[in-house]
Amino acid sequence: MLSPHEVATLLLVKDAPDHAELDRADLDALLERELVQLERLDSGHRRPCITARGGAVLNAISRIR
């Protein structure tokens, strides 16, 4: 189960992947669960992006309302 902070981080990665204030512990947890991955940019920097599994989690969360 994801913590509220991890869900918020997943939403931030989806909506603003270049957001500089992502909590590293939450991001690491999402990486371990394969909900996000680090994409290598042409500049050599790495940016988090949502995986298909992460997208499925967000879709499931949006249906709960």
pTM (predicted TM-score): 0.86
The Cα–Cα gap between 10 and 56 comes to: 11
CATH number at residue 21: 1.10.10.10
Place of tokens 């309302």: 65
Q: Give the tokens for residue 23.
A: 């909590």
Domain containing 44: what range?
4-64
Contact, 9 vs 27, CB < 8 A?
yes
The Cα–Cα gap between 62 and 49 comes to: 19
How many domains does the structure of the chain reveal?
1
Q: Give the tokens for residue 58.
A: 């967000």
pLDDT tens sequence for the chain (65 residues): 899 999 999 999 998 867 767 889 999 999 999 999 999 989 988 899 999 999 999 999 989 86
